Amino acid sequence: MGTSNEINKQDFCLWLGHLKLSRIIIVLSTILFLVPLITHYYLSNVENNSIHITHSAHSHTDLPEDLNYLNDLDLKVRVEELYRIKGSVSSELRDMESKRQKLQQELQAYTKNIEQLKFELSHQQTELNRLKISVEQAQVAQKEALEQNTPDLALPKRLTANQLPAIFPMLPRNLARNCRMFSCFDHSRCSLTSGFPVYLYDPDQYTVMHSNWDVDGFLKTTLKQTLGYNPHLTNDPKEACIYLVLVGEALKDTDDISEAFGNSNLPPLDSRALKRLPYWGGDGRNHVLLNLARRDLSAASGNIFTNVDTGRAILVQSTFTHSSFRSEFDLIVSPVLGPPGGDVWQECAPMLPARRKYLLSFQGEIKSNSKYGPTNLYGLDDSDLANTESYFELDRFIVEHLKEMGKSSTADKFYFEFECIPANDDNINTGFQDWALCGTDSSRKFILRDSTFVLIFAPATAEYVSTTLLQARIYEALRSGAIPVILGGDQIRLAYDEVIQWKRICIFLPRVRITELHFLLRALPDSDILLMRRQGRLMWEKYLASVQSTLDTIVAVLRDRLNIPPLPVENVPAVSVFNETFQPTQVIVNVDGEQDESLGPLEPPYNSPAYRRNYSLLITQGHEVWNDWGDPFHLYPTLPTDPLLPSDAKFLGSGRGFRPIGQGQGGAGKEFSEALGGNNPREQFTVLLLTYEREQVLLDSIARLRGLPYLNSVVVVWNSPKPPSPELRWPDIGAPLHIVKAARNSLNNRFLPLDNLKTEAVLSVDDDAHLRHDEILFGFRVWREHRDRIVGFPGRYHAWDLNTANSWLYNSNYSCELSMVLTGAAFIHRHYFHLYWKWLPQAIRDKVDEYMNCEDIAMNFLVSHITRQPPVKVTSRWTFRCPGCPQSLSEDDTHFQERHKCINFFTQVFGYTPLLNTQYRADSILFKTRIPHDKQKCFKFI
C-alpha cells in the first residue's frame, strides 16, 4: 500500500507542475502574439508618414514637431534608424515565434508523456498484480515442496543380470507339465528396472532340429531382421532376461511325413540339441521356444513339442492340446501369414457398408478320417475316439441345418461351401484336421470381403484348445472385416487371449446353439457390427498382421506377465539451427494491442511431470492399453487418458500441485485469473511454430507472445533449408526460445515429437496466426477439460459429395456443424505427436509430402479414430490471420482440390472415415452475462 500511495503523490505533484507550466506558457504566448502586432502597426504608420513627407505637399502643421528642425540628412538617418529598429524587432519576433513553437512541441511531448505514464502506470499495476499472483503461487509451490512425502519419479535406472544362467538339474517331465511362471521362471534375471532384455539364438548357428528337419528359411531370415528392430533385443547373454529359440515347421529332405516322422520315430525337435544350447542352464528356464508355423502340414509341425523334453522352457505356437497347454505359462499365437512388416492397410477391406452381400458365409469340408488316422495323430484312446465321433455327428447335423438355412425364404443371403476342390499351394491345408479349408487364398478373401459374418468351427476333437487352422481362419476373417462366429467357441482359446478381449471381436457360440444362430446374427444392429469390425481390424493391425507385429506382441505379452514396463518411447532430438559458437541476438520488444488485464501469473518454466505411471499403468488400465487407445510396446511420459482424482481429494490429502480457484471457494474474473483451477494440477503449455522463409512474420508472431501467462517455452521448427540470417534480432519474450532445424522441408514436421517439448499441452500455431493472449488462455483452459481431443479456433468439416458417389469434399464455408479443427491454431496433447510418427500408416505421411498439404487433416483423422470423439472449437475474436502477411500455401488454387483427395485417400487407408460431426462450441463462462459492477468477467472480450 505504501508503494501505491507514493506513486499517487508523485503523479499528483507531476500533474500540478505541468498545470502551472501550461498557464505560464499561455501568458507568454499571448504577450508574444500581441506585442508584434502593436509594433508592426506603429512602424507602418511611421513609414507611411515618411512617404508622405517625401512625395506629398503637406503643411508643417501635419509633421511631428521635432521634424520641423531636421534637415534632409538627419531625416534620412532617422528613417534608416527606424528601419533598423524594425528589422531588429522582426528578428526578435521570429525568435519568439520559434521559441513559442518549440514550447508548444514540448507541451505536446509532455502531454504525450503524461498519457504514456498513465498507460505505463496501468500496465505496471497489471504487472504488479501478476507478480503478486506469481509470488503467491511460488509460495504455495515452496510449501508443497517442503511438505511432499513422495519422490518425483523419472525414467528407471536399468538393473540387469551380470552373469550367465546357473546350471540346474533337469526337471522331471511330470513336474514340467505343471510349470507356471512362479515355479519355472527365474525372476531374478528380470528386475522391474531391467528393461526386459531379450537374447536371440542365431537360428543359422544353433539348430535344434533333427537332420531331416529344418527351420523355414523365410522365418529364419525374417525373424532376425524384424527382431533387430525390437528395442528389447540384446547381444549380451549375461544381461538377458529371456532367451528366444526358433524351432522349425517344415521338412527339409522329404514331403513324406510318415517317413520323416512316423517310421523313424524321431520327432522334429532334438532334445539333446536343446540341452547343448550354451545358456540352457540344465533345465531351460527363461527360454522361449518359438514355433511360428505358417502351414499346418502335420501333427508334428502343428505340435512339434510332442514327446520332447523341453524342461522349464516356455512354448509358443498355434497348436496345443488341453493336456499340453500350461495356462499363463505357454503362449498361443497366430500363425505368421503376413509380410515381414510395413504398412498392411492394403490387405484390409473397407469397413462399410455395415451389412455386406452375405449375412453369413462358410467354406470348408468335413474330414472325419485323415490320411494318418486319429489314433496315430493324437494318441487317443477308445473313449477319446468315441467322443470324436460324436463331434463329427454333431457337425454333420450342423451342416444339414446350414443347408436348410441357405434354402430358406428369408431376405438374408448366405454363402456355404461344404465340398472342397483339391487344395492349391497357397491353401492352409490340414491333413490331420477335422475340417479342411476350401478354396484358394484369393477366392476366400473375395468371399470374406462380401460377408458380414463368417462361420468358423472349433476342432471336432475336444482335446485341442487351439489349432493352427483355427487361428489362421481368425486371421483371414479379421483381415477381410468379416466378424468371426466360432461354433464350439466355449472349448477353445485364441491368440494372446490373456491380454486381448476377443469377446469384443468374435461371437463364441456352443455347437448346440446352431439353431439359434440366425436369430442371434439378426439381433445385432449396424452400430455393433461396425464396432466389432473396427475392433477386429485394430487388433489385427497391432498384433497379427506381420512378422514384426507378431514378434513384438510375443515379447510384450511375456514382459507384461512380469509387470515390467516397456522401454521409453524415443523422442526426436531438437537440433538447433545455430552452432555452438553463435548465439542469436535477443531484444525486448514492446507489442501494442494487448488488453490491460491480469490473465494469470508470470512463472518460470514448469515442465509437466513425466513417467509417474511407469509401473501402475498396466496394472490399473492394462485392458485399455491393450485393447483401446493404448500402445503396449512403448512407455510414454503421460497419456491424455490418465485418471483424475475426485474433487474432494485435492482438499483431503492429495492436493499437491492443485490450484483451485479462490482456494476452493470459486469466484469470478479476479479469482479466476489468480489460479488455473480445474481437475488437474498446475501446468503450462508450449507454443510450437512451423515456419518457412517468412522471417519478419515469424518475429512478429513471437513478439506477440511476450508476457503470456502459463507459457513454458516457444519451439520454432525451421523448415527452410537456408538458415536464419545472423542479423535477425529475436524477441526476448521472457520464456525460452528454441529454433530447431528440420531434417527436410515437410509439413509432417509440425508434429515432430521433439525432446524439448516438456509439457503435455502443445499449442500448434502457424507463423502468420494472430491470436490474442486472452484467446490463447481461453483455449488452454478449454483443452484442460478435453485433454484427449484437439481444441482450437478455425473449424472445418467434411461434406458428402452429392454429385459423385461415395466421395467426400473438404469444406471451409461457415457452418453450424464441424468435424475438424485446423492445427494452425489448436491445442494438442504431446502423446499424439508420437502416434503420428509411430502408429499412423506411412502412406498418409507420404501423401502429406506429395501434396505439401493435409497434415492437419491427418491429425484430425488420427485423434478421432483413437478417441471416437470430434474436436472442440472455442470462441475467438476473429483475429486469427495477421493482415498483410505474405501469401500462404492455403491460398493456392490447387489447395482445396488436394484436400478433397486427402480426405478420400485417408478414408481408404483407415477403412472408414473416423471424423465425427459436432455442433458444440465452447464459450467462456459469464460470456455476455450481466454481472454486478464489483465483479469481473472471466474474459472481457470473449
Residue type, 538: L
pLDDT band, very low/low/confident/very high, at 678 (cuts 50, 70, 90):
very high
Phi, psi of 868 (to 5 degrees): 55, 40
**Distance (Å, rounded) from C-alpha 501 to C-alpha 624?**
10
Count Cβ atoms within 10 A of the Cβ of residue 392 and give its class: 0-12 exposed, 13-18 middle, 19 or more buried.
middle
β-partners of residue 314 are 288
Q: In the block, which residue shows the cell 507459457?
A: 711
Distances (CA, A) of 116 to 120, 125, 212, 587: 6, 14, 95, 21
Phi, psi of 294 (to 5 degrees): -105, -20
Q: Report the range of poorest mean pLDDT among 33-37, 280-284, 923-927.
A: 33-37
Q: What is the mean pLDDT of residues 573-592?
A: 78
Distances (CA, A) of 75 to 53, 58, 78, 525, 839: 10, 16, 5, 124, 109
**pLDDT exceeds cutoff 80 at 72:** no
Instruction: Report the SS3 class of residue 222.
Output: helix
**Distance (Å, rounded) from C-alpha 128 to C-alpha 133?**
9
**Distance (Å, rounded) from C-alpha 746 to C-alpha 844?**
13
pLDDT of 373: 33
Phi, psi of 316 (to 5 degrees): -130, 115
Q: Where are the alpha helices (DSSP H) in 237-298?
A: 257, 271-275
pLDDT of 73: 78
CB 704 within 8 A of CB 889: no
β-partners of residue 921 are 873
Residues across the chain: 942
Average pLDDT, the chain: 83
Tell me which DSSP letter residue 622 carries.
H
Per residue in 528-558, pLDDT tens?
Answer: 999 999 999 999 999 999 999 999 999 999 9
Q: What is the mean pLDDT of residues 188-211?
A: 90
Q: How many CB atoms lie within 10 A of CB 344?
A: 18
pLDDT band, very low/low/confident/very high, at 41 (cuts 50, 70, 90):
low
Q: Where are the alpha helices (DSSP H) in 465-516?
A: 468-480
721 prior amide bond cis, ω within 30: no
CB 750 within 8 A of CB 854: no
Count CA within 13 A, CB hemisphere, residue 336: 27
CB 755 within 8 A of CB 614: no
Q: Is 450 designated active site?
A: no
User: What nine digits make up the cell of 913?
Assistant: 472415415
% pLDDT > 70, the chain: 80
β-strand 791-792 against 820-821: which pairing, if any?
Answer: unpaired
Residue type, 32: L
pLDDT band, very low/low/confident/very high, at 66 (cuts 50, 70, 90):
low
Nearest alpha carbon to residue 316 among 189, 141, 466 = 466
**Distance (Å, rounded) from C-alpha 243 to C-alpha 363?**
40
β-partners of residue 386 are none
**pLDDT exceeds cutoff 70 at 17:** no
Catalytic residue among 856, 892, 893, 934: 856
Per residue in 556-569, pLDDT tens?
Answer: 999 999 999 999 99
User: What nine digits make up the cell of 806?
Assistant: 461415395
**Distance (Å, rounded) from C-alpha 325 to C-alpha 459?**
15
Per residue in 710-745, pLDDT tens?
Answer: 999 999 999 999 999 888 899 999 899 999 999 999
Nearest alpha carbon to residue 487 among 312, 590, 364, 571 = 364
Q: In the block, which residue shows the cell 501446468?
A: 683
pLDDT of 371: 36
pLDDT of 139: 77
Per residue in 98-114, pLDDT tens?
Answer: 899 999 999 998 988 88
Q: 448 or 9, which is more confident?
A: 448
**Distance (Å, rounded) from C-alpha 152 to C-alpha 133?**
25
pLDDT band, very low/low/confident/very high, at 149 (cuts 50, 70, 90):
low
- What is the number of H-type helices and E-type strands within the chain? 24, 28
pLDDT band, very low/low/confident/very high, at 128 (cuts 50, 70, 90):
confident
CB 217 within 8 A of CB 200: no
**pLDDT exceeds cutoff 60 at 263:** no
pLDDT of 893: 66
β-partners of residue 792 are 826, 873
Per residue in 600-655, pLDDT tens?
Answer: 888 889 999 999 998 999 999 999 999 998 899 999 999 999 999 999 998 998 88
Q: In the block, which residue shows the cell 519576433?
A: 93
Q: Is the C-alpha dihedral spanning 457, 462, 465, 468 positive or negative?
A: negative
CB 942 within 8 A of CB 596: no
**Distance (Å, rounded) from C-alpha 909 to C-alpha 890?**
24
**Distance (Å, rounded) from C-alpha 295 to C-alpha 74?**
139
**Distance (Å, rounded) from C-alpha 57 to C-alpha 620?**
125
Element (H, E) at 125: helix 72-147
Task: Rounding to the nearest 10 degrees, give the CA dihedral for residues 887, 888, 894, 899.
Answer: -160
Instruction: Report the SS3 class of residue 263.
Output: helix
**pLDDT exceeds cutoff 80 at 252:** no
pLDDT of 444: 85
**Distance (Å, rounded) from C-alpha 150 to C-alpha 49?**
106
Nearest alpha carbon to residue 213 among 274, 280, 265, 266 = 266
**pLDDT exceeds cutoff 90 at 265:** no
Q: What angle do CA 501, 507, 510 make, to 5 degrees?
A: 115
**pLDDT exceeds cutoff 90 at 889:** no
**pLDDT exceeds cutoff 90 at 407:** no
**pLDDT exceeds cutoff 80 at 300:** no
Q: Alpha-carbon Rg of the chain, whole angstroms?
A: 42
- Greatest Cα pair distance, the chain, in angstroms, is 169
Q: What is the mean pLDDT of residues 403-420?
A: 87
Phi, psi of 290 (to 5 degrees): -100, 120
User: What nine digits make up the cell of 95?
Assistant: 525568435
Q: What is the DSSP string of 533-552?
A: HHHHHHHIIIIISSHHHHHH
Q: Where are the alpha helices (DSSP H) in 185-269?
A: 217-227, 257
**pLDDT exceeds cutoff 80 at 12:** no
Element (H, E) at 46: helix 2-55
Is the pTM higher than 0.75? The answer reads: yes
